[in-house]
Amino acid sequence: MEIACLGDSTTAGTPGFLSPIEAPPDGRGDVRSQYAYWLAAAHPGWRVLNRGVNGERTDEIAARFDRDVIQSGATVVVIIAGVNDVYQGRPVDWATANLEVMYARAAAAGIPVVAGSIVPFNTATPDQNRRMREINAWIARRAAALPRMAFVDTRAAVAAPGDPDRLAASPDGLHPDAEGYRRMAEALDPALRRLVSST
């Protein structure tokens, strides 16, 4: 069973870990600083591939979809992307159009999708938080409308209690700590198990 985890820094494991794409062949750093590690630890029978790259927008992630998901033989793909689009000032429809491309590529290849929400960063402006919320709401609607797709609120999994726009804990104010990545894995796990069992 192969799970491809596709995304940006919050998939790669920034700042504690460099993904295998960033530091071939196996990645480098604190392995606990990636949600893929915690998923693999919980499911020894799964091969969980970290296909995150720090700083990438949705268009850049979509450009490597075939290589990092389809050619890897993934059974299921986790897609968490869009924060860098927001950070770099791109509009909501820019990000959602590129996410739609990835969802369509997965559907055409017969690969179920677990779609995570964009996680917060502590320096976000009100406008950036508004755009992240709009993208996340769109992701949830698409997942509800598409077969073999599940939405997971990974933002809520790492957010501070009572403050959905800030991280519960962070080494740099921009990314979760290792405990946050563990919580992301815990949130993703039930949806992954459902989709894996249906394949």
CATH number of domain containing 95 = 3.40.50.1110
Structure tokens at 34: 């990636």
pLDDT, position 14: 97
pLDDT band at 89 (very low <50, low <70, confident <90, very high): very high
Q: Taking 80 as the threshold, does the pLDDT of residue 37 lie above it?
A: yes
Q: Judge contact between 72 and 4, C-beta under 8 A.
A: yes
**pTM value?**
0.97
Mean pLDDT of the chain: 97
Structure tokens at 192: 């992954």
Bond from prior residue into 25 cis (ω within 30 degrees of 0)? yes
Question: Which tens digits make up the pLDDT trace of 135-178?
Answer: 999 999 999 998 899 999 999 999 999 999 999 999 999 999 99
pLDDT, position 134: 98
What residues make up the domain containing 70? 2-198
The Cα 152–Cα 5 span in angstroms is 14
Q: Taking 90 as the threshold, does the pLDDT of residue 197 lie above it?
A: no
pLDDT, position 196: 87
In total, how many domains does the chain have? 1
pLDDT, position 143: 97
The Cα 79–Cα 128 span in angstroms is 20
Which DSSP state fits 119? Answer: P
Check residue 169 and give left, alpha or beta (phi > 0: left; psi -120 to 50: alpha): beta
Long-range contacts, stretch 65-68, CB < 8 angstroms, 24+ apart: 65/6, 65/101, 65/102, 65/105, 65/106, 66/105, 68/4, 68/6, 68/21
